[in-house]
Amino acid sequence: MAVIETKSLTKYYGKSRGIEGLDLEVNEGEVFGFLGPNGAGKTTTIRSLLGLIMPTGGSASVFGLDIVRDSVAIRARTGYIPGDPSFYPKMTGHDLLDYLANFRPGNPPVLRDELTRRFDLDLSKRCKDYSRGNKQKLAIVVAFMHDPDLLVLDEPTLGLDPFMQKEFYSLMEDFRQRGKTVLLSSHILGDVDKTCERVGIIKEGKLVTVEKVHELESKKVHRVTAIFSDEVKTGEFDLPGVSITRQNDRSIELKIKGEIDPVIKALARHKLVDLDFEHASLEEIFLEFYGDEA
């Protein structure tokens, strides 16, 4: 069942494009990555789904509920981390969580204490005294503490140190195993690489592609670094689908899109001192969709 479904969803800010004709499905129980550079339409999509802004055209539903008519009912079942979380500066973390819990009297914050310990968050401090990382931890607790059915996360690991990022990925896996649904918007490829099953890439307000993460990673893009004992002539690796990223007399770095057999044969004409052969990272594949624009 699709928890999130959009049909030709469109949002314009005056004459400026936010998103246009967006068709997207996020299935129940999946962690769906939503990728794109700043200004591509990720945050506009999220705010539209949560009823924080009204769409210009098209339609969308969450839990089968209309995002315009039923936005309150949708938010009651949703945890949300905005891309720029802010809190009442004079409240302590403890006071803030109490205050926000009052908005969901029938849905107690059952995970609050566990999350506070898990992310080592001092709730006695006032929000204005929190560092960037601690504000992000607080945003995570707010989003997850009611054990929501859907999590909508906009750049959720910004400001977290590597240890806390690892803890966040573990938390995501816990929710996934319990059948929760997650829409994760990020330009940090590690977030998507470590947590998501499918990924949608948005460009200029339109969906470019939706693919499984392992299928993206298996696309035929490779990076090769070779070191030779003899000199390599210029132009020897000018082959179809091959671009030279760095070269000197006795070493070369190549990016290969497509068949690798011609490259292997060209390498075999020389005595190799060292050879490093890598599959493309998800980031490199992402850049293939965007080219220089990214």
My answer on whether 136 and 196 are in the same domain is: yes
What whole-number distance in Å separates Cα of residue 198 and Cα of residue 211?
Answer: 6
Alpha carbons 162 and 262: distance in angstroms, whole number: 40
Q: What are phi and psi of 265, to 5 degrees?
A: -65, -35
Domain co-membership, 44 together with 96: yes
- Among 191, 214, 237, the domain boundary falls at 214
Answer for the pair 119, 137: CB distance below 8 angstroms, yes or no.
yes
196 and 228 share a domain? no
Query: 2: part of which helix (H) or strand (E)?
Result: strand 2-13
**Domain containing residue 194:** 2-214
Mean pLDDT confidence for 266-276: 91
pLDDT per position as a tens digit, 142-195: 999 999 999 999 989 999 999 999 999 999 999 999 999 999 987 776 778 788
- Are 76 and 203 found together in one domain? yes
In terms of domains, do 104 and 231 share one? no
Q: Are residues 168 and 27 in the same domain?
A: yes
Domain count, the chain: 2
Residue 231: the pLDDT is 87
Instruction: Give the pTM.
Output: 0.80
Element (H, E) at 167: helix 162-177
Gyration radius of the chain's alpha carbons: 23
Same structural domain for residues 28 and 68?
Answer: yes
The tokens 């493309």 sit on which residue? 280
Band (294; pLDDT cuts 50, 70, 90) = very low
pLDDT category, 219, cuts 50, 70, 90?
A: low
Cα distance between residue 252 and residue 140, in whole Å: 45
List the CATH number of the domain containing 71.
Answer: 3.40.50.300
Same-domain check for residues 157 and 254: no
> Whole-angstrom Cα distance, residue 64 to residue 80?
18
User: Looking at the structure, do residues 183 and 39 belong to the same domain, yes or no?
Assistant: yes
Domain end position, chosen among 194, 214, 234: 214
Residue where one domain finishes, among candidates 160, 188, 214: 214
Neighbouring residues of 68: CB distance < 8 A, sequence distance ≥ 6: 51, 54, 55
